[in-house]
Amino acid sequence: MGKGDKRSKRGKLFKGTFGKRRVKPQKAAKKIRDAAAAGA
């Protein structure tokens, strides 16, 4: 459970990724969803 562990929040922060342990901010996710809906 450290910086090298991709399954922990600390590891996600270190890698700069998102997932269940570190969910993307809702504001950014909404913009992405709206843009995808408009393009489809």
Q: What is the CA radius of gyration of the chain?
A: 13
Strand (E) positions, 1-40? none
User: Could you tell me the residue range of the domain that residue 32 belongs to?
Assistant: 9-39
Residue 1 domain-assigned (yes or no): no
Answer whether residue 22 is part of any domain. Answer: yes
Give me the number of domains the chain comprises.
Answer: 1
d(CA 3, CA 11): 4
- Does residue 32 fall inside a structural domain? yes
Q: Is 27 within a domain?
A: yes
Residue 4, domain member (yes or no): no
Distances (CA, A) of 34 to 7, 10, 27, 28: 29, 30, 11, 10
The pLDDT tens digits of the residues spanning 1-40 come to 788 888 888 888 888 888 888 888 877 667 777 777 777 6
Give this prediction's pTM.
0.50
